[in-house]
Structure 1
Amino acid sequence: MTNLTIIGAGTMATAIATVGVSGGTSVQVLSRNVDQGVQLAANLGELVTPGQVGDALTGDVVVLALPYTALGQVVETYAAQLGGKVLVDITNPIDFATFDGLVVPQGSSAAEQVAVWAPDAHVLKAFNTTFAATLESGRIGGLPTTVLVAGDDPTAKQTLIDVVEAGGLVGIDAGVLSRAQQLEQLGFLQITLASAQRVPWTGGFAVVR
């Protein structure tokens, strides 16, 4: 059975851990503030094991639930352990100085940068077009929350989609890893709309199938 390691213990990490636990998936949560991971485990139950960044990875799927600016250092820390792992980037690399664009070069994406840093991992882009509240509730309006997954390895994508769907959400294969460019633009648009209070943080874009 697939196990998750989530690096980070913020709202998105909590929401993704909730999805995993809902589907019966064991979740290792690694954070710099160990108390956050301990509290998360207390809230979600015995399937969650807290730890500290630097501890050995136990998950087959590793989720980087961190700001884009923190990814490089963490990937470097775990470089020797990431070979063969499914490595999931959830970031939206927004330029917070201007809030008017992304900090990655045009024609690239945060996920593609992660793939450069971790060439032996199966890198995916996912969760960046969903707010934490909609992951935890499993709904956007009257529709199930949909997680779009981009990556170059079909088996890796299906592994994550299986975890998502076991947790009660819908997973959709969004294509190759370069589709992360469009997903990050979509995530950026959604965040700007929510920040301007034009959509709620409990809402967002839904997919009708």
Structure 2
Amino acid sequence: MAAITIFGKGNMGQAIGDVFKQGGNQVSFIDRDDPVENLGAIVVLAVPYAAALAIAQQNQAQLAGKVVIDISNPLNFETWDELVVPADSSAAAQIAAALPQAKVVKAFNTTFAATLQSRQVAGQAPTTVLAASDHADAKQALAAALSDSGVQVIDAGSLKRARELESFGFLQMTLAANDKIGWNGGFAVLK
């Protein structure tokens, strides 16, 4: 059992919290104005990219030594036509640069809240959480915390792979926003 702290109580924050609770973990939530203290070993930034980066920059000391999970897809939400990070980088890489003493993991950005809640993509395939990090132990901690949650976790490689995960998440979100797929659908990984 792990202690999990989630920044953000929106649809994704709640769905991620439920998945971790199903896995037998202790979950707490933190709001924007709450003091940042007594954080769990795993901290989830379930907020938009700009807010996640600000949290990282403002709380380096509190997040040192933690497994920090970035779920953001850094879309330009005004145009829905581009990512707002440099093409050779990612939101996760930017957050990792702000948190040199933390173990940053990119995860949950290729799932929708509905697929986390149902544990299935379009009722047909298990929900898969793809995880990228330069810290194998951080990915293992995430996988262990989700082992009894009803979702599968796949190691997607180093944090460099966050670029592709964010592009993948961007594509999936734009398809859903344009009614090409449902918010309970998306891409699935079949093993």
TM-score when normalising by structure 1: 0.88
Q: How does 1:1-209 map to 2 (within 5 A)?
A: 1-32=1-32, 53-140=34-121, 141-209=123-191
Q: Alpha-carbon deviation of 1:55?
A: 3.3
Q: Alpha-carbon deviation of 1:165?
A: 2.5
Q: Which amino acid is 1:106 matched to?
A: A
Aligned partners of 1:133 and 1:201 also within 8 Å: yes
1 CA distance for matches of 2:99 and 2:141? 19
Q: Alpha-carbon deviation of 1:74?
A: 1.2
1 CA distance for matches of 2:164 and 2:7? 24
Q: Which amino acid is 2:58 matched to?
A: T
Specify the alignment match of 1:45 in structure 2: none
Aligned partners of 2:3 and 2:25 also within 8 Å: yes
Aligned partners of 1:123 and 1:151 also within 8 Å: yes
Alpha carbon RMSD of aligned pairs, Å?
A: 1.1
2 CA distance for matches of 1:200 and 1:120? 38
2 CA distance for matches of 1:11 and 1:5? 16
Specify the alignment match of 1:47 in structure 2: none
Paired residues in the alignment total 190
Could you list the per-position Cα deviations for residues 46-79 of structure 1 after superposition, in whole angstroms to 9, with x for gaps in the alignment? xxxxxx5323133100000001111232113321
TM-score when normalising by structure 2: 0.96
2 CA distance for matches of 1:151 and 1:193? 26
2 CA distance for matches of 1:58 and 1:115? 18
Identity of aligned residues (%): 49
1 CA distance for matches of 2:67 and 2:51? 19
Aligned partners of 1:147 and 1:164 also within 8 Å: no
2 CA distance for matches of 1:66 and 1:12? 8
